[in-house]
Amino acid sequence: MRRLKVSIDRSSGFCWGVVRTIEIAEQELGNQGELYSLGDVIHNPMEIERLRAKGLQTVKVADLKQVRGKTVLIRAHGEPPSTYENAERLGITIIDATCPVVTKVQERIRRFYTDGYQIVIFGKKVHAEVVGLVGQTNGEAIVVHSLDEIDRVALDRKTVLFSQTTMDKPTFYRLKEELQRRVKELVVGSIEDEAIEFHAKDTICGQVSGRDKKIREFVQANDVVIFVAGRASSNGKVLFEIAHEANPRTYFIEQPEELVAEWFASAERVGITGATSTPQWLMEKVKTLIEQKFDSSEQTGTEHQYSHH
């Protein structure tokens, strides 16, 4: 009899935007067997390796010159307008796999910027998606990562707050309230400032934010949780925090080899979940390995029987 009951979180795995990007990449690789992704196509080293075997190579934005005349994939995060311009100059064919959700945010930011708004983006400055968003504003958008950075926002301008699609909602709403409060104070201050407007556009993707609740429920229903994600995935970090808070016996791994036997001590129910960048096949692999190696009720070295559903 097995001691461990290992299950995979049904609501984990790629979000549709990423599924779409990978489908576009694989389709193109089927056509010509050579494709360059501008930055890693997904923040998961294992999936990158799988696609590399099919001919997908990664090139940095700074090294665009090296792929002159080739075909380059723009990943789900999107790119600033300057990338498209440089690619054209270099005779590069662009396969644009920007997630439609991101494209929409880019368009909205561009519209507010053209209308003379100060653009504030809640996100991480170095994140590729944010670089793409800031690019819509000629580099002028102010990126804030926490409430502490709010002082950088000019309060005497009409302002709109957007968010990187993978940020957490509670902080976004705290930022919104804080900005609203300050801008209002200023309006009271002088007649001149009465024209100040403040808008907040919640552009956090439902694929990410909707998962908070589900992941909490999933991890609480298990004794031990293995969270599988690439260490560079920002969505992975957010979700891991949530999972770990709801169940302290949640462990982060990038590869199945990182599993540790002690984690499973006196556990019965083991759950496997991950980021929106975690491939399903990788979680399956983790499941199989746990059942093979860490189910203490089975004798190691004897023959195992595995039931596949």
Residue 207 binds ligand SF4 (CB under 6 A): yes
Work out how close the CB of 77 gets to ligand SF4 at its nearest, in angstroms, rounded to a whole number. Answer: 7
Two tokens, residue 135: 């690019």
Alpha helices (runs of H) in 16-80, residue ranges in sequence order: 16-32, 45-52
Q: Of 8, 18, 25, 128, which lies in the binding site for ligand SF4, with binding defined by CB under 6 A?
A: 18
Mask: binding to ligand SF4, 80-99, rule CB under 6 A, as x and -?
-------------------x
AA identity, residue 55: G
User: Which residue in the list 47, 79, 129, 254 is annotated as catalytic?
Assistant: 129
Query: Do 302 and 287 touch, CB atoms closer than 8 A?
Result: no
Kindly tell me which residue out of 16, 113, 252, 263 binds ligand SF4, with binding defined by CB under 6 A.
16
Give the Cβ contact number of residue 187 at 10 Å: 18
Site for ligand SF4 in 141-170 (CB under 6 A): 165-166
Tell me, yes or no, if 185 is annotated catalytic: no
Site for ligand SF4 in 96-115 (CB under 6 A): 99, 101-102
Segment interacting with ligand SF4 (CB under 6 A) among 46-54, 146-154, 201-209, 291-299:
201-209
CB nearer to ligand SF4: pick between 179 and 239: 239
Q: Which is nearer to ligand SF4, 133 or 144 (CB)?
A: 133
15 binds ligand SF4 (CB under 6 A): yes
22 binds ligand SF4 (CB under 6 A): no
Exposed/middle/buried for 116, CB within 10 Å: 0-12, 13-18, 19+? exposed
Cα gap 236→218, rounded to integer Å? 16
Q: Where are the beta strands (DSSP E) in the chain?
A: 5-8, 35-38, 56-59, 71-74, 93-96, 118-122, 142-144, 159-163, 198-200, 224-228, 250-253, 269-274
Query: What are the respective helix, strand and coil percentages of the chain, to the nearest 5?
Result: 45, 15, 35
The contact set with ligand SF4 (CB under 6 A) reads 15-18, 76, 99, 101-102, 165-166, 205, 207-208, 276
Return the active site residues. Answer: 129
